[in-house]
């Protein structure tokens, strides 16, 4: 990694770019190496400049941010994309992450979020605006191939005991938890699996091989 994070800004609104530029350029570990007004320009500059991070607006004329993100890997394989959008909808988030973005930042985020996102992505980590993490989780729940993956290890343990016919009190004793905690686990399990009765929970547990 270079001493400074080299950043390319891609947004079709010059005012927005200017605002981000002021925030980022003021950081001792960051340098703005280029600016683009649409996805095509962003790709051309990515190829020339090989930046560490592209802050990429999702909605841009000529070539949108999703399509541009998809092609970044071809012109600058080590560049990571931080998507920028006004939309919290999971469909936007899903599409740009699927296209290869490493993070998703809402445009109304505070400057500390922008800086945290750029640094996280430069380090090779992911970043999601707090405002979109719920949308992503809900979307994941709908598209996940195996719903049991949504449960924590403790929740799977509780689910198995519920399916074996144990009461909340029985489970609390075995796991050394309060009855209230077990009840909270049960509620979270039902919410995550989108089931509404113990019978449904038992059916699910049987299908997943947790009980015979």
Span 142-183, pLDDT tens digits: 665 677 878 888 898 999 999 999 999 999 999 999 999 999
Ranges in the chain annotated CATH 1.10.10.10 = 147-207
Amino acid 61: pLDDT? 82
Q: State how far the Cα of 107 lies from the Cα of 96, in Å rounded to an integer.
A: 15
CA distances from 68 to 31, 107, 158 (A): 22, 19, 45
Amino acid 208: pLDDT? 80
Closest by CA position to 103, among listed 46, 145, 65: 65
pTM: 0.66
CATH T-level topology, domain 147-207: Arc Repressor Mutant, subunit A (1.10.10)
Q: State how far the Cα of 30 lies from the Cα of 52, in Å rounded to an integer.
A: 10
Ranges in the chain annotated CATH 3.40.50.2300 = 5-142
How is residue 14 written in tokens? 């010059």
Taking 70 as the pLDDT cut, the residues of the chain under it are 1-2, 140-145
- The architecture in CATH of the region 5-142 reads 3-Layer(aba) Sandwich (3.40)
184 CB-near residues (< 8 Å, 6+ apart):
none
Compute the mean pLDDT over every residue in the chain, rounded to the nearest whole number.
89
- Residue 116 gets which letter from DSSP? H
| Structural contact between residues 86 and 60, judged by C-beta atoms closer than 8 angstroms | no
25 CB-near residues (< 8 Å, 6+ apart):
31, 32
């Amino acid at each position: 990694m270079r001493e400074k994070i080299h950043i390319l800004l891609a947004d079709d609104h010059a005012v927005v770019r200017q605002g981000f530029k002021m925030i980022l350029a003021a950081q001792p570990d960051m340098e703005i190496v280029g600016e683009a007004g649409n996805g095509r320009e962003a790709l051309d500059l990515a190829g020339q400049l090989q930046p560490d991070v592209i802050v990429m607006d999702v909605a841009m004329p000529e070539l949108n941010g999703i399509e541009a993100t998809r092609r970044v890997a071809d012109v600058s394989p080590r560049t990571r994309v931080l998507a920028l959008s006004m939309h919290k909808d999971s469909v936007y988030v899903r599409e740009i992450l699927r296209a290869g973005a490493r993070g998703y930042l809402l445009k109304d985020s505070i400057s500390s979020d922008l800086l945290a996102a750029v640094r996280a992505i430069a380090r090779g980590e992911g970043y999601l605006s707090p405002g979109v993490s719920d949308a992503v989780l809900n979307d994941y729940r709908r598209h996940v191939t195996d719903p049991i993956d949504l449960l924590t290890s403790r929740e799977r343990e509780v689910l198995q005991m519920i399916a074996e016919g144990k009461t909340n009190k029985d489970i609390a004793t075995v796991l050394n938890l309060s009855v209230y905690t077990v009840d909270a686990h049960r509620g979270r399990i039902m919410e995550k699996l989108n089931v509404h009765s113990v019978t449904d929970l038992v059916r699910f547990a049987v299908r997943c091989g947790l009980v015979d």
